[in-house]
Amino acid sequence: MMIIMTEWILHLNELIELLLELDELEVRQRGEKPRNRNYYEIIVPEYDDLLFKKHFRMSRVIFEIINFIQLQVCLKINFNI
Mean pLDDT (10-residue bins), the chain, 81 residues: 62 73 67 70 88 92 90 81 59
pLDDT at position 41 is 81
Residues 81 and 49 occupy one common structural domain: yes
CA nearest neighbour of 51 among 60, 40, 39, 61 = 60
- Rounded to the nearest 10°, the torsion over CA 33, 37, 38, 39 is -50
DSSP state of 31: T
Tally of structural domains, the chain: 2
Residues 29 and 66 occupy one common structural domain: no
pLDDT at position 1 is 55
Amino acid at 39: Y
CA nearest neighbour of 47 among 62, 60, 34 = 60
Residues 41 and 78 occupy one common structural domain: yes
Residues 46 and 77 occupy one common structural domain: yes
Residues 53 and 74 occupy one common structural domain: yes
pLDDT at position 58 is 92
pLDDT at position 81 is 59
